[in-house]
Amino acid sequence: GVHVPIPGVDTFALGEFFRSQGANLFGIVNMFSGGALERFSIFALGVMPYISASIISQLLTVLVPYFEALSKEGEAGKRKINQYTRYGTVLLAVVQATMLAATLENNQFNGADLVIAGGMSWKVLTVLSLTAGTAFVMWLGEQITERGVGNGISLIIFAGIVASLPGVVGNTYSMYSNQQMDLFRIL
């Protein structure tokens, strides 16, 4: 899914934009998504909406009496809170995908439009694709957890970071290849 781009996006211009940004917020989000944001793939949002929804659910169990009562009901209450977390994930994914689509559609980089042919149909397709990608990643993480391999979402984040490691090592080497490389610069 990281390599399946959303149709209608100039992936070359978007890639150049990300390379020009360096290690800022875009770079961090791109790292957590395993490079999916840079390619604007269907997994571009990654697990971020799920993590946000999980944090909100945890806060609600402390702040809202209904959620606090659910958390004390044992396994049935936990399942209900998990269901609300899934709904929250989808809602956050729709909101984030809408904002991302609107931002990309109205921007250029070095004179090139980031979106080749925008419009309402492109936005709807983008929102549906990104939301479905997030829902799939969330489901995959839950399946990994249920099968006893480990915490699925954490493993997905780890896999995204590890997948980008060879590129980071290559970039570091090319940046300092003509200079003396010491441990401090490499780190």
CB 132 within 8 A of CB 42: yes
> What is the chain's Cα-based Rg?
19
* pLDDT tens string 83-106: 999 999 999 999 999 998 888 887
Any alpha helices (H) in the chain, and if so which ranges?
A: 11-21, 25-32, 36-39, 48-63, 65-71, 75-105, 120-146, 152-176, 183-186
Over residues 111-140, the mean pLDDT reads 89
Three-state SS annotation for 14-64: HHHHHHHHCCCHHHHHHHHCCCHHHHCECCCCCCHHHHHHHHHHHHHHHHC
In whole angstroms, what is the distance from residue 58 CA to residue 78 CA? Answer: 11
Q: What pLDDT does residue 14 have?
A: 76
Over residues 112-122, the mean pLDDT reads 83
Top-confidence residue, 115 or 124: 124
* pLDDT tens string 32-83: 666 677 778 888 888 889 999 999 999 999 999 999 999 899 899 989 999 9
* pLDDT tens string 142-177: 999 999 888 898 898 888 778 777 877 777 777 766
Q: What pLDDT does residue 10 have?
A: 79
* pLDDT tens string 131-144: 999 999 999 999 99
